[in-house]
């Protein structure tokens, strides 16, 4: 069915953005004047500079979409997470990145994500200490960028700052690096005792009138904090952890967000790499420059126990596949990360299989792992 739809999209349906041609007709007519990038193209040659390519992509069947209230439009439900693209870096005296990554891999990942139809990209001002935002400046104009602010610091020091003055400073810096005003800016994990009544002092409406900000929201570390943030009028979207091993948001947060018509971005569908098939057979160590190497032994052991239990009870072909499809089953946006193009391709294949059916969701809901003592 997906193949039929894809063929219709590419070969039959005219697109107003492509001069009322089908993508295939458009490609045939204009390829000789501007071929656009090949999958192996090098970003340093600026493959997205051509106006024609900017309007043209072959949709490859990423079917699941969700309505983004903040942007007022439907978008593919997969959001490309860019933390990995910052490579290894230190912030606040500790490794803060997710291990090494070359610039060419980062560029190839972004290109492939965009070409697959993904249009929303999640980042933060501190990912790669600003380098990831600069990389995202190459995205075509129809992509949306979600960024975050509130971490003041250097490789050796760090503190939280959610003042209006720092927000304005961060917005100016992010807009410069991104070469655009971010579409959605999130407070980056405020402290658990943060009083959301203080948001009035940020004067978000005034910043919006001044063209410094479009959407505004909060990235939260706990569901109870997210539930409070959601009620604030300035908050249009929240980002929280959600995956097979951390399902707290489902019963309380989702229904309330739906009622308020606010966006919920679900991050870390693979529980930061633990909900993948590689932990089923053996333990797997993280590089010392990877933030995950600093997880406590207790936290790490719980995650590995839980993914193995899940695998035994579900008896599925691939935990990685089920992990992603589980998160895609709630008509919300799913922010996933990946390290290389093979992982991205596998995730696109999994996503194309769509949401899990109700019977599978019921089986999953019955599995009890207890709670991670560190969460």
Ligand X SMILES: NC(=O)c1ccc[n+]([C@@H]2O[C@H](COP(=O)([O-])OP(=O)(O)OC[C@H]3O[C@@H](n4cnc5c(N)ncnc54)[C@H](OP(=O)(O)O)[C@@H]3O)[C@@H](O)[C@H]2O)c1
Phi-psi region of 38 (alpha: psi -120 to 50; beta: other; left: phi over 0): beta
List Cβ neighbours of 228 (8 Å cut-off, separation of 6 or more): 196
Nearer to ligand X, 27 or 160 (CB): 160
Per-residue binding string, ligand X, 165-194, x by CB under 6 A, is ------------------------x-----
Looking at residue 11, what DSSP letter applies?
I
349, 63 in Cβ contact below 8 A? no
Candidate segments 5-13, 194-202, 230-238, 343-351, binder of ligand X by CB under 6 A: 343-351
* Binding status of residue 347 toward ligand X by CB under 6 A: yes
Distance (Å, rounded) from C-alpha 247 to C-alpha 263?
17
* Binding status of residue 225 toward ligand X by CB under 6 A: no
How far, CA to CA in Å, does 144 sit from each of 20, 29, 140, 180?
A: 24, 28, 9, 10
Candidate segments 3-11, 110-118, 224-232, 267-275, binder of ligand X by CB under 6 A: 267-275
* Binding status of residue 343 toward ligand X by CB under 6 A: yes
Name the minimum Å distance from CB 17 to ligand X. 28
Name the minimum Å distance from CB 210 to ligand X. 25
* Binding status of residue 103 toward ligand X by CB under 6 A: no
* Binding status of residue 339 toward ligand X by CB under 6 A: yes
Candidate segments 45-53, 244-252, 342-350, 358-366, binder of ligand X by CB under 6 A: 342-350
Looking at residue 101, what DSSP letter applies?
-
Interface pick for ligand X out of 147, 151, 175, 320 (rule CB under 6 A): 320
Name the minimum Å distance from CB 36 to ligand X. 27
Nearer to ligand X, 18 or 266 (CB): 266
Among 310, 226, 235, residue whose Cα is nearest residue 274:
310
269, 334 in Cβ contact below 8 A? yes
* Binding status of residue 276 toward ligand X by CB under 6 A: yes
* Binding status of residue 245 toward ligand X by CB under 6 A: no
- Helix then strand then coil, in percent of the chain rounded to 5, is 45, 15, 40
Phi-psi region of 187 (alpha: psi -120 to 50; beta: other; left: phi over 0): beta
* Binding status of residue 269 toward ligand X by CB under 6 A: yes
* Binding status of residue 270 toward ligand X by CB under 6 A: yes
Interface pick for ligand X out of 96, 111, 122, 183 (rule CB under 6 A): 122
List Cβ neighbours of 48 (8 Å cut-off, separation of 6 or more): 37, 54, 138, 139, 140
Phi-psi region of 87 (alpha: psi -120 to 50; beta: other; left: phi over 0): left
Nearer to ligand X, 48 or 149 (CB): 149
Which residues sit at the interface with ligand X, rule CB under 6 A?
81-84, 98, 122, 148, 189, 219, 239, 267-273, 276, 320, 335-339, 343, 346-347
């Amino acid at each position: 069915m997906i193949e039929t739809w894809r063929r219709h999209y590419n070969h039959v349906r005219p697109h107003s953005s492509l001069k009322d041609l089908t993508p295939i007709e458009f490609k045939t007519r204009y390829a000789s004047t501007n071929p656009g990038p090949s999958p192996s193209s090098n970003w340093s040659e600026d493959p997205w500079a051509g106006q024609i390519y900017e309007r043209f992509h072959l949709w490859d069947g990423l079917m699941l979409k969700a309505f983004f209230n903040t942007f007022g439009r439907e978008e593919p439900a997969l959001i490309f997470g860019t933390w990995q693209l910052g490579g290894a870096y230190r912030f606040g005296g500790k490794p803060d990145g997710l291990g090494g990554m070359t610039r060419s891999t980062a560029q190839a990942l972004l290109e492939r994500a965009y070409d697959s139809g993904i249009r929303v990209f999640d980042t933060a001002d501190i990912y790669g200490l600003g380098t990831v935002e600069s990389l995202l400046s190459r995205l075509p104009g129809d992509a949306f960028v979600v960024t975050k602010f509130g971490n003041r610091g250097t490789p050796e020091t760090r503190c939280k700052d959610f003042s209006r003055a720092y927000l304005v400073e961060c917005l100016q810096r992010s807009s410069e690096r991104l070469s655009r005003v971010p579409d959605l800016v999130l407070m980056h994990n405020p402290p658990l005792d943060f009083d959301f009544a203080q948001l009035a002092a940020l004067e978000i409406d005034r910043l919006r009138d001044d063209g410094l900000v479009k959407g505004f929201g909060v990235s939260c570390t706990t569901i109870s904090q997210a539930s409070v943030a959601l009620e604030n009028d300035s908050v249009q979207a929240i980002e929280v952890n959600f995956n097979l091993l951390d399902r707290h948001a489902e019963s309380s947060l989702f229904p309330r967000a739906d009622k308020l018509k606010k966006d919920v971005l679900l991050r870390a569908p693979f529980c930061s790499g633990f909900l993948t098939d590689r932990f089923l057979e053996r333990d797997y160590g993280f590089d010392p420059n990877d933030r995950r190497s600093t997880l406590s032994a207790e936290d790490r052991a719980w995650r590995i126990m839980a993914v193995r239990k899940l695998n035994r009870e579900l008896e599925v072909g691939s935990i990685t596949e089920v992990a992603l499809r589980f998160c895609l089953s709630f008509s919300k946006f799913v922010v996933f990360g990946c390290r290389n193009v093979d992982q991205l391709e596998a995730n696109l294949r999994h996503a194309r299989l769509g949401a899990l059916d109700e019977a599978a969701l019921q089986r999953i809901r019955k599995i009890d792992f207890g709670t991670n003592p560190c969460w």
